[in-house]
Amino acid sequence: MNAISASYYDGKRSVRHAVALRFSLSADRLAVAGDQVAAEYKVSAVRFAPRIADTPRWIYLPDGATCTVPDNDAIDRIAPESRVLRIVRAWERQPVYALVSVLLVAGLVWLFVDRGVPPIARAIAERIPASSEASLGERTLEGMSEGDFMMPSDLAEELRDGLTARFAEIAERGGARADYRIEFRNSPLFGANAFALPGGVILVTDGLVALAQNEDEVLGVLAHELGHVVHRHSMRRILESSLVAMVIAGVTGDVASMTSFASGAPIAVIHLSYSRDHEREADRYATELLRQSGIDPRHFAALLERMEAAQSDLPGLPTFLSTHPSTAERTSSARGE
């Protein structure tokens, strides 16, 4: 057949060579000839890229070299497309079909993220050894303790020990199914706040204790954070974010984002907010635990309202209520309304 004009790249240098391609399908041979280029290949060993409208077609040669051919029709005569590819290419030329395809993919991705990711993350979290989760929690605590991020607590040791001892009695009475450790820290950045880190570390800021009007209010927040620990919400949230990142990487081809997330996982824990379902689950756990211990859950609700009022004056800072259900919903639930 007649020669096909193409651009040749040897795969080692970014030097373009103008070449002519001659195919002999009966002999299964492809001859490439041009300035400083002379090579032959088996046609059966050559890979042709799918046609995308009339953009230059890529041809991948067995030795790592490539060719780009502007004449798509000539390549189609040599390597005819399958019926499925022809249909897909016909759809690509229809804007309405393209839009429908994008919406369909977006809908399927949303459905998987919303309905499939949470149960998958929960199943995986239940199989992760507690020692591995604890290691991640300790690394996160170390990262948060650097600089002025989380400083040693200024609370009196007697107050800290008293709160820890009272909560230990509550957790034991309620049959808590997880190990935990309470850490008090002073953090002007986070204000009145509390965190449950992977592995059972519960961080409580001096600001939260100062905002509380009595110990029962602090114990209510601790019960809520213990609910996160018992249900392994921190690890589940990390896994959910990782699964979502995998889906996005698969759809967009951005695999590099996965490695970036993995390397920064300990710091990412700080920025992850629990889902509304996680918060409701932790609230239910706290309410039940407080009632079993003879503490009115309305103390927990009162502190939630005070925390929201205090943090509404701190725009832009991480908040205890980020992505939580509405405070009205949570306080009504705690009060049994």
What is the pLDDT, as a whole number, of residue 324?
57
**145 versus 81: which is more confidently predicted?**
145
Closest by CA position to 202, among listed 155, 281, 140, 127: 140
| Within-domain flag for 261 | yes
* Residue 312 shares a structural domain with residue 174: yes
Q: How confident is the model at residue 161 (pLDDT cuts 50, 70, 90)?
A: very high
Mean confidence (pLDDT) of the chain: 83
* Residue 213 shares a structural domain with residue 139: yes
* Residue 56 shares a structural domain with residue 173: no
Domain boundaries, position 26: 4-79
What is the pLDDT, as a whole number, of residue 315?
47
CB 135 within 8 A of CB 199: yes
Would you list the DSSP string of 125-144? HTTS-HHHHHHHHHHHHHHH
| Within-domain flag for 102 | no
Q: Does residue 163 surpass a pLDDT of 90? A: yes
Q: What is the CATH number of the domain that holds 54?
A: 2.30.29
Model confidence pLDDT, tens digit, residues 36-78: 899 999 999 999 998 887 889 999 999 999 999 999 989 988 8
* Residue 327 shares a structural domain with residue 267: yes
Q: Does the pTM of the predicted model rise above 0.85?
A: no
* Residue 134 shares a structural domain with residue 33: no
| Within-domain flag for 154 | yes
| Within-domain flag for 328 | yes
* Residue 326 shares a structural domain with residue 211: yes
Tell me how many domains the chain contains.
2
C-alpha 22/C-alpha 30 separation (Å) is 6
CB 246 within 8 A of CB 258: yes
- Average pLDDT for 215-239: 91
What is the pLDDT, as a whole number, of residue 259?
54
Q: Does residue 269 surpass a pLDDT of 60? A: no
* Residue 142 shares a structural domain with residue 280: yes
| Within-domain flag for 211 | yes
Q: Does residue 91 surpass a pLDDT of 60? A: yes
Residue 42: both structure tokens together: 């088996």
* Residue 16 shares a structural domain with residue 156: no
| Within-domain flag for 264 | yes
* Residue 191 shares a structural domain with residue 49: no
Last residue of some domain: 52, 79, 106?
79
Q: Does residue 251 surpass a pLDDT of 80? A: no
* Residue 187 shares a structural domain with residue 283: yes
* Residue 51 shares a structural domain with residue 168: no
- Average pLDDT for 276-303: 90
Q: Does residue 271 surpass a pLDDT of 50? A: no
| Within-domain flag for 75 | yes
* Residue 135 shares a structural domain with residue 75: no
Strand partners, 185: 152, 205
Q: Does residue 140 surpass a pLDDT of 80? A: yes
| Within-domain flag for 54 | yes
Model confidence pLDDT, tens digit, residues 185-213: 998 888 888 989 988 999 999 999 999 99
Q: How confident is the model at residue 247 (pLDDT cuts 50, 70, 90)?
A: confident
